[in-house]
């Protein structure tokens, strides 16, 4: 695929850059990487990073440095839905271990892997700031909280259904 923003994405790019003073367009790098990731199949191949560098008129290495530093940028292909399950202290004491085990079992994947149908990726992440609503996971932009095994079943069914429709 070609890693180029379409008109809507380009308009959003311009809006992001306009927030910063003249010559400080590098500041838009993090939001622009988010935009690129959303625009290009949920992950950022080198071509996409180079494209972002050219748009912001910075050296490619500056983009690589940033993209590898932050945990939200996927530098490898991921499934359509990424289950990012929190495993830090407060979630752990509220039972995240059993939720993680259950997802592994239901989807037959280990953390970091994607299901064969390319639908789901399981990622273990650190604290997402939903400690009072633990156990929890993030899927795309949404938080799924107060997880139980039943709720996990329902979430998976919901996404399977949504994927079938498209």
Partner 1 sequence: MSEQTLFKVTIDNITVEVPAGTTILQAARKIGGEVAPPAMCFYSKLKGSGGKCRTCLVEVSKGSEKDPRPMPKLVASCRTTVMDGMEVKNITSEKVVDARAGVVEFLLLNHPLDCPICDQAGECHLQDLSFEHGKSGTRYEFQRRTFKKHNLGKNIQLHMTRCILCYRCVFTADQLTNKREHGVLDRGDHAEIATHIEKSLDNEFIGNVIDVCPVGALTDKTFRFKNRVWFLKPMDAHRDCPTCSGRVTLWNRGDEVFRVTARKDEWGEIEDTPEGQPGWICNTCRFDKKQSSDWVIEGPREINRHSVIAQGHYAGKIGTTKPKETFTAVNDGRTPHLLMDIHDQSEVNQPNIHLSEIKGPSHGDTFNNNKA
Partner 2 sequence: MGVKLLLEKANVPGIRSFEVYRREGGYRSVEKALKEMNPESIVEEVKKSGLRGRGGAGFPTGMKWSFIAKPEGVPRHLVCNADESEPGTFKDRYLMEFLPHLLIEGLIVSSFALGSSDTYIYIRGEYAWIPDILEEAINEAKAAGFLGKNILGTGFDCNIHVQRGGGAYICGEETALIESLEGKRGNPRIKPPFPAIQGLWMRPTVVNNVETLAAIVPIINMGGDEYAKIGVGRSTGTKLISACGNINKPGVYEIDMTISVEEFIYSDEYCGGIKGGKKLKACIPGGSSVPILPANLLLKTAKGETRYMNYESLSDGGFATGSMLGSGGFIVLDEDQCIVKNTLTLARFYRHESCGQCSPCREGTGWMEKILHKIEHGKGSMSDIDLLWDIQRKIEGNTICPLGDAAAWPVAAAIRHFRDEFEWHINNPELSQTSNFGLQNYADPIHVPA
Binding map of partner 1 across residues 27-46, x = CB under 8 A, - = no contact? -------------------x
Q: 23: left (phi > 0), else alpha (psi -120 to 50), else beta?
A: left
Calculate helix-pair angle for 46-56, 29-39, nearest 10 degrees. Answer: 140
Selection from 88, 92, 85 nearest residue 106 by Cα = 85
Q: Is 140 in the site for partner 2 (CB under 8 A)?
A: yes
- Residue from 12, 27, 30, 62 touching partner 1 (CB under 8 A): that is 62
CB contact at 8 A, 83 and 96 = no
Best CA proximity match to 83, nearest among 104, 65, 56: 104
55 CB-side CA count, 13 A: 26
Give the whole-angstrom CA distance, residue 4 versus residue 10. 9
Size, binding site for partner 1 by CB under 8 A: 10
CB of 142 to partner 2, least distance (A): 7
Q: For residue 89, give the 3-state DSSP assignment.
A: helix
List the interface residues with partner 2, window 30-69 (CB under 8 A).
Answer: 30-31, 33-34, 56, 58, 62, 65-66, 69
Interaction of residue 94 with partner 2, rule CB under 8 A: yes
Per CB under 8 A, 64 contacts partner 1: yes
Of the candidate residues 65, 101, 126, 153, the single one contacting partner 1 (CB under 8 A): 65
Contacts with partner 2 by CB under 8 A lie at 19, 21, 24, 26-31, 33-34, 56, 58, 62, 65-66, 69-73, 87-90, 92-94, 126-134, 138, 140-142
Interacting residues with partner 1 (CB under 8 A): 46, 49, 59-62, 64-65, 68-69
């Amino acid at each position: 695929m070609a890693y180029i923003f379409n008109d809507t994405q380009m308009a959003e790019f311009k809006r992001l850059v306009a927030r910063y003073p003249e010559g400080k367009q590098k500041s838009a790098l993090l939001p622009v990487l988010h935009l690129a990731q959303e625009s290009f199949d949920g992950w950022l191949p080198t071509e996409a990073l180079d494209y972002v560098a050219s748009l912001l008129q910075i050296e490619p290495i500056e983009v690589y440095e940033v993209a590898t530093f932050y945990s939200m940028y996927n530098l490898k292909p991921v499934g359509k839905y990424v289950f990012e399950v929190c495993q830090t202290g407060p979630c752990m004491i509220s039972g995240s271990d059993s939720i993680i085990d259950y997802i592994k079992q239901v989807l037959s994947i280990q953390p970091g892997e994607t299901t064969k149908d390319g639908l789901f990726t399981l990622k273990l992440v650190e604290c997402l700031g939903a400690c009072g609503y633990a156990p929890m996971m993030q899927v795309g932009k949404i938080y799924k909280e107060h997880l139980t095994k039943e709720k996990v079943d329902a979430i998976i069914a919901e996404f399977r259904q949504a994927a079938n429709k498209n």
